[in-house]
Structure formats: structure tokens, C-alpha cells
Amino acid sequence: MDSYLALWMFAAVFLVLLSGYPVAFALSGTALAFATVGVQFGVFDVVFLNALPNRLFGIMNNATLMAVPLFVFMGVMLERARIAEDLLEAMAELFGSLRGGLGLAVTLVGMLMAASTGIVGATVVTMGLLSLPTMLRNGYSPSIACGTICASGTLGQIIPPSIVLVLLGDVISTAYQQAQLEMGIFAPETVSVGDLFAGALIPGIGLVFMYLLYIVLMAWMVPESMPAPAAVSRERGFYRRIIKSLAPPLGLIFSVLGSIIGGFATPTEAAAVGATGAMLLALFKKQLSVNKLREVMQNTTHVTSMVFMILIGAALFSLVFRGFEGDELIIELLAELPGGKFGAMFFVMLIMFFLGFVLDFIEITFVVVPIVGPVLLTMGIDPVWLGIMIAINLQTSFLTPPFGFALFYLRGVAPKEVTTVQIYKGVMPFIVIQLIMLAILAYWPELATWLPTIIYGEV
């Protein structure tokens, strides 16, 4: 009976989150309230709360999580330095003579911005402000323009260096070690953020390719939805401007990602390189000032504080959840599902998909993954494959009407003549593409596990 209190606690925190109360305090407050009631009725052992100081000390000493503020700083600095604006202008000029060229440009810039910032909201808003008016002026269908921007903006979920993958990597690493200990393996293997970065490359690039293929097909089949400009003049020094716009961000991306995958630096060290490189790019573009640096630092502190407060609240929530034997109930429920580990995986993915409508990826990562992760990994599921499946799944839910976060971000900056229905209609084909990629990855887990195995050996 105690274990069912854990489910009631989960339902209670879900309702509190829907009310708009701050996530960190909703998690910790609900957990403490249920713990207090449990102590009064003798169904909760307060000893579980004694582990909280050790959990907090572990969070403070976690070197991997130090990458979060550094990657956030890097992304915000690149946004303030107008890197996206220069990239979009260069790509639009490069592909502008093609039918659907602006759609191709937006997708490729979205990919580069995802690899530069790793922040979905910032990418969607930036691309919406810069590219949507241009696409509409050039006669693009509002639905296709909006769908392209939303889909390319959510690539920050899966294309490394992604903050989602940094947080998932840390949580899945802990869950993987816990699963191995439960299986009697007392010299557990580890999985790192670098493993997830390497595992995400092929699926991420595959998604971009499928987006581009869809745009090309639509430009061919429905030409009036993406007309080509009447004439595009390329002035003197065209290729020089293209290289000048592309080389700095590409160099920064390769230096950060290459150093991690190549084993030359940890994610935290690479994030420091990225933050420094972003400042140098801003300085080179004469976009760095004391006021702008202060603004970037304030935004970084705000986002980082939110992440770590949620992490602390989630740590308290998980302790109380385990105190009510909720972990044992989850094991029983998943074990009884038809289809074995594949049935359990499908059920968890479905639940996360619907949770992605109303919860941010940080909340799902810190609350849901620590609960279901050890159970799935005990069943023999590969940790890297699990992490990439979760990332793409959440990316899909962020696109899905009516609650997808990316849709809200774009609605906030879209012109009034663009209707919400047009935004919903535009993302539908990209949702299908996402689901196809999920199905492909489910059928061929090697798409996520092959590269980490080649680079790092068995994980």
C-alpha cells in the first residue's frame, strides 16, 4: 500500500506543476508534505531524508554538471553576438536562387545554431524573429515556414553539444551504475556525456537530412508553397562573405565537439573552450561590451540557478519516492507489461512523450529518468541508445500540438497574420519525420551505439 502513495505523490506534483508554481519548489514541497504525512501515519521512514545532504554534496562536486553554465554562457553569447543573423544571411544568399532555398537555409542554420547553443527556446525565437518575416515576404506558405523554423529549432535537443544530452548523460550514468549494482556487478562500467554526444551524431544528422529531403520534395511537388526569387544577384566577394560567416561558428563547433569525441577534453573542459571562443567571436565582431557581458552573465546565472534548483528539488523528490517503495512498484509494473523489455521501453517512451507536453526536459530528466532508468537498464537496454531515444522522443513532443513548447516559442514572436492553426499544420510533417526516425532507431539501435563503440570501445 505504501508504494501506491508514491504514485499519488507523483500525481500531486504533476497537478502542482500545472498550476504554474515554480518547479523546484513544487518538487521539494510536495515531497516534504507527503513525507510528513507518511511519518505521522508510520508508513515513511525519516531516515531516507538523512541522505539528502550527501545528495546535495554530490551535486556540488559533480564536474560534469559544471558544463551546464558554460554551455549556456556560450549559447547566450553567440545569440547576443548576432552570429545567427550573419549565418542566416549567408545561407540565404547561398541557396536563395533555388526553389525552397530559404527553407534549406533555415534548416541548416537551425542545425548550426543547435550545435552552437544547445538551447531550444533561444534557437526557435531567434530563427522566428530573423527568418519568418523574410520567408513570408518571399511568398512562402506560412505553414511550411513555421514548420521549418520550429523543427530546425528543436534540433538543439539532439545535436551535440546539447544541454539536454549533458544532463541526460549525468543522470543515465548514475542510473546505469545503480542498475549494474542491482544485478550484482560490483565493478560497474560507466557511460559518459561523450558517449551520448557520439551516439547522437548519426541520428541528429539523419534528422537534418530527412528535413532537407522533405523541403526539396515539397518545393518540387507544391512549387507555389516555396517560390524561388525572380533574380538573385551575387555581388563581388560573395564566397568570401560566405566563408567569413560560416568559418567562425563552424570552427567553434568542431573545436568543442571534436575535443570531447576525440578524448582530448572532458565536456566541462570543452564547454570552457566554447565559452571562451564565443567571447572571442563576439569581440572579433565588435559585439562585446561591458553591458552586453553583464546581460549574458545575468541570463546564464538565471538559467543555471533554475537548473540546479530543479535538480535539488528532484533529489528530495526521488528520496521520498523511494521511501514509499515507489521504485519497487515501478519495477513490478514494467515487468508485468507484455513484450518484455521492448514493451516496457514503448510504455516509458509513450509516457515521456505525453509528459513532454506539460513538463520541460529538465524536469523529465531529473524526475522521471532516475525512476525508470535503472529498471530499463536492468532489463539489458543499452544506456546510450536509451539516452538518444529519450532525447528524440522529447524533441518530438516539443513539436506536437497543442502543447508543444516550440509552438509556444514561435507563436510569441510570429506576426499576427500567422495563425496558430497554420503553425500546427506546418509542424505535422516534421512530427511524422521525427516518429520515422524514432522507429528507425528502435529497429536499428546500432545507429546510436556504433560510433561510441568505435571511438571509446564498449559502453
Residue 277 · residue 252 · CB < 8 Å: yes
Lowest mean pLDDT among 53-57, 144-148, 184-188, 270-274: 184-188
| pLDDT level of residue 459 (50, 70, 90 thresholds) | very low
pLDDT for res 442: 92
The predicted-structure confidence for 343-396, as pLDDT tens digits, reads as follows 888 888 888 888 877 677 777 888 888 888 888 888 888 999 999 999 999 888
Mean pLDDT for the stretch of residues 13-25: 78
Per-residue pLDDT at 110? 80
| Cα R_g (the chain), whole angstroms | 23
- Range 306-309, long-range pairs (CB < 8 A, 24+ positions): 306/23, 306/24, 306/362, 307/68, 307/167, 307/362, 308/59, 308/65, 308/68, 309/24
What's residue 100's pLDDT?
Answer: 81
To the nearest whole percent, how much of the chain has pLDDT over 90?
13
Could you give the CA distance from residue 400 to residue 419 in angstroms, rounded to a whole number? 16
Which of 383 and 134 is assigned the larger pLDDT? 383
Length of the chain equals 459
Of the two residues 121 and 102, the one the predictor is more confident about is 102
| Residue 439 pLDDT greater than 90, yes or no | yes
Q: How many domains are there within the chain? A: 1
Distances (CA, A) of 457 to 120, 189, 385, 430: 31, 12, 15, 34
Q: Write out the residue range of the structural domain in which residue 185 sits.
A: 2-15+22-456
The answer on pLDDT for 9 being more than 80 is yes
pLDDT tens across 38-91, in order?
A: 888 888 888 888 888 888 888 788 777 788 888 888 878 877 877 777 777 777
pTM (2 decimals)? Answer: 0.82
Q: Kindly state the DSSP code that residue 288 receives in the 8-state scheme.
A: -
Confidence of residue 309 (pLDDT cuts 50, 70, 90): confident
